[in-house]
Homo-oligomer: A and B are copies of this chain.
């Protein structure tokens, strides 16, 4: 078991849940990805590693990891499909190029500023900030 997998096991144990084959497979696939993946991509990749794992289990695992705060779901892309990635606390926002379709992550203090601003001026306690910027990336605009 990799060290990150035993972290997963610990996180699950705290909630009284088990580390199973499907969960581990989903975890490994997503955590070794450099980018976001759709549930479909995750399911395919998991299927390559272990063909006995069912799609439903992939969806159930992702939903669980989301609930535990281990992964993060976003609606990027033109389609309805959700995109998944590990929930890094320093992960800030996404920039999607509408021409080439690429999605960049961007780190900065913008999201924190939003959070602070709302807490101060509006009494709104933000638990999650989703910032998606759509436009043309450096390579695609004239």
Contact A127 B117, beta carbon cutoff 8 Å: no
Instruction: Select the stretch in A22-30, A45-53, A60-68, A128-136 that faces chain B.
Output: A128-136
Name A residues whose Cβ lies closer than 8 Å to a Cβ of B. 75, 80, 95, 98, 104, 106, 108, 110, 113-115, 117-118, 122-138, 141
User: A129's contact among B80, B108, B127, B133, by CB below 8 Å, is which?
Assistant: B133
For this complex, 15 residue pairs linking A to B, each with C-beta atoms less than 8 Å apart, are A80-B80, A95-B126, A98-B127, A106-B122, A123-B137, A123-B141, A124-B135, A126-B133, A126-B134, A127-B135, A129-B134, A130-B130, A130-B132, A130-B133, A130-B134
Contact A127 B136, beta carbon cutoff 8 Å: yes
Quickly give the copy total for this chain: 2
Chain B contacts for A124, CB-based, 8 A: 95, 104, 133, 135-138
Q: Which residue of B lies closest to A110 (CB)?
A: B114
Chain B contacts for A133, CB-based, 8 A: 114-115, 118, 124, 126, 128-130
A74 to chain B, nearest CB (A): 10
User: A110's contact among B117, B123, B130, B138, by CB below 8 Å, is which?
Assistant: B117
Chain B contacts for A132, CB-based, 8 A: 129-131
* Docked complex Cα distance between A82 and B29 (Å): 30
